[in-house]
Chain A
Amino acid sequence: MSRKNTVIRLHDLQKTYTMGRNEVHALRGIDLTITAGEMVAIMGASGSGKSTLMNIIGCLDRPTSGTYELDGQRVDGLDRNQLADIRNRHIGFVFQGFNLLARTSAQENVELPLLYDRRNSKADPAAAAREALERVGLGDRRDHLTNELSGGQQQRVAIARALVTTPSLLLADEPTGNLDTKTSMEVMALFEELNDRGLTVAMVTHENDIAACARRIIELRDGLIVRDEPVLNRRIASRDLALTGAA
């Protein structure tokens, strides 16, 4: 695969938290390459460093050492403003806790990233947000406030927000952690559809059912990658959903 199609390239990435005299080595040297169009599940025991890795990939945090290339551009060592712009342009991030603005409509939440879009890439932010909401199946819930939506709907608003800037990479840290099985499958079906259209997806999950929807599974243990293999018998979320819906 050519260099051009590499979305993420990590080399000997380390992250050490210093708490007083204690040093926590959350990541001890990660080498990882993710190419365009992949759908990767990151698994591992609690405390193995999944969120830490995800936050660094999402440019929310900076590595202690090692290199990180995103879309062919070095991003370790960028300053806070540059990281903010990268988050805005290249990355859509979906959190376990949704992280929507409270007492704010779905529409406004989805428009939020465009507010900070310095290139003004969307001529009509409101229309772009409407489109993103329609894509996640919430076209009719646009004016609902955050607290008027179910957990699954909130997560879909969060996904719409991640998509509105047309990023090259969708990151999700336990996107189904707060959802029941059926709603989780709905979210996975959405990821699947986005991935089928070419969006690169990386997600953290505890659950094998969810990880089985990915094309590739990476497992972390104590800050190192201990398993990295393709999913042979991939689960198709949309099909399962149709079956359970019929049952």
Chain B
Amino acid sequence: MKPAKLLRVAIRSIARTKMRSMLTMLGIIIGVGAVICMVAIGQGARSRIEQSILDLGVNMVVITPGTSSSGGVSRGAGSLNRLQVDDAEKLADESMLLSAISPVVMTGGRIRAGGGNWRAPFYGVDVAYEEIRDWPVADGQWFGQADVRSARKVCLLGSTVANELFPDQDPVGQQIIVRDVPFDVIGVLETKGQTAGGEDQDDCVIAPYTTVQKRLAGRQFIAQILGSAWSSDDVTAAMEEAAAIMRESHGLADWEENDFTVRNQSDLADAATGTTEVMTVLLAAIAGISLLVGGIGIMNIMLVSVTERTREIGIRMAVGARPGDVLVQFLVESVVLSILGGVIGVGVGYGGSWLVAYLTGWPTAIDAVAVGIALGFSAAVGIFFGFWPARKAAGLDPITALRYE
């Protein structure tokens, strides 16, 4: 029989029992839909995390105290392990590949202003921070070199802090008090949104690091040094250069390990997406199992169908169908069923992931590869689970089949 004829015969017998065909396909539809939905959610989560980390700046290089070989956690053992402003200055002086360097001093506390108060992290940074984080002000202006040099008590508010402390008035020109130290608000930063970890980046106050060190932290040590490579191609080289300068600055001998860690954003992104990758695989595995169950459903129905249609098989054989014709007919039928189910499942998957995105606000990303694999798998399911029933049909004896009631 010609392929076109075969296909027509298969589609006709599928169409003849629409309700049952629909129910048969349901397993595959749900299976494929689930695979695509799950992978879309997983990929969406992954790309969101990646994006929000890369939002910090692809060119950004982060130096933190402590060695990463001890599990990435700062040991903080002794002053030699600490970062100091000297390190940042040395980097700024000697680095060829970093366009901007800023130390970051971290503290925090209750911030009072007018009648209200609010608790937020307080960062002491250099002017270059604006460029490194790509974080301009929405209102007012950034502090300048002069403010840093003379440790002026000026600050910039993250938009969350600005809204909390000054809901009805312009914060610029107002004063806030942190641990009895008054700061003049000279600007409000642009809204950045949440980090991948769900942290509100706008819930912070930024001031010159000199001021923060002198008035609030009272310490020499700094939490991190941020740098920005000239271009994303330079990041790796810039990191190596920064490490070399840092080793020199800390006076490390050749045999000594780094007592600091240099990372870039893609390192962080990789670490974060690693977990979502595991999740995606797990979700896909669960969805794959439902696809398998769908396949067994097809086999079940095809077996029932062969029994039910024994007479039809007998008739076909009586008028000249070869066993091979009958085998191919049933095989094509189950493959058409499963591929049709797969195609509908892809539609359901698209709809489902759109719905998830719509209802939860999670981004979802339909993966072409997942669609391809799901469709291919459903065709394979059709062939694999259709073969046994088809062979059973082909093995029937015409007389026995015709007599079957």
Residues of A within 8 A of B (CB): 55, 58, 60-61, 80-81, 84-85, 87-89, 93, 95, 99-104, 112-113, 115-117, 161, 165
Contacts and interface: CB of A to CB of B under 8 A. Distances in A.
A84 B317 contact: yes
Interface in B114-171: none
Nearest to A87: B320
Contacts of B5: 115
Secondary structure of the B side of the interface?
helix
Contact of B320 (A89, A95, A102, A104): A89
5 contacts: A87-B317, A88-B319, A99-B318, A112-B315, A165-B320
B318 A93 contact: yes
**Which of A112, A115, A165 counts the most B-chain CB atoms under 10 A from its CB?**
A115
**Which 8 pairs from chain A and chain B are nearest by CB?**
A88-B320, A113-B319, A116-B320, A84-B322, A81-B322, A116-B321, A87-B320, A60-B398
Contacts of A102: 312
Contacts of A115: 1, 5, 9, 321
Contacts of B325: 84, 116
Contacts of B322: 80-81, 84-85, 116
Contacts of B9: 115
Contact of B402 (A95, A112, A161): A95
Contacts of B16: 103-104
Contact of A84 (B1, B312, B323): B323
A233 to B, nearest CB: 35
Contacts of B345: none
B47 to A, nearest CB: 50
Contacts of B323: 80-81, 84
Contacts of B90: none
Nearest to A161: B319
Contacts of B398: 60-61
Interface in B316-359: 316-325
Given A84-B320, A95-B402, A116-B325, 10 more contacts: A80-B323, A88-B319, A88-B320, A99-B311, A100-B315, A103-B16, A112-B315, A115-B9, A116-B322, A117-B320
A118 to B, nearest CB: 9
Contacts, number: 62
B88 to A, nearest CB: 84
A81 B320 contact: no
A157 B342 CA distance: 39
B399 A116 contact: no
A80 B326 CA distance: 12
Nearest to B317: A84
A116 B316 contact: yes
Contacts of A112: 315-316, 319
Interface in B1-25: 1, 5, 9, 16
Contacts of A100: 315
A58 B325 CA distance: 19
Given A99-B315, A100-B315, A85 B320 contact: yes
B386 interface: no
Nearest to B315: A99
Interface string B258-282: 0000000000000000000000000
Which residue, B9, B315, B317, B323, has most C-beta atoms of chain A within 10 A? B315
Contacts of A81: 322-324
A60 B322 CA distance: 12
Nearest to A98: B315
B314 interface: yes
Contacts of A85: 320, 322
Contacts of A80: 322-323
Contacts of A58: 318
Interface string B282-321: 0000000000000000000000000000011011111111
B55 to A, nearest CB: 61
A226 to B, nearest CB: 25
Contacts of B316: 112, 116
B1 A60 contact: no
B315 A60 contact: no
Most chain B C-beta atoms within 10 Å of own C-beta, residue among A84, A95, A112: A84
Contacts of A93: 318-319
A61 B316 CA distance: 15
Contacts of A101: 312, 315
A61, A85, A87, A89: most-surrounded residue (chain B CB, <10 A):
A87
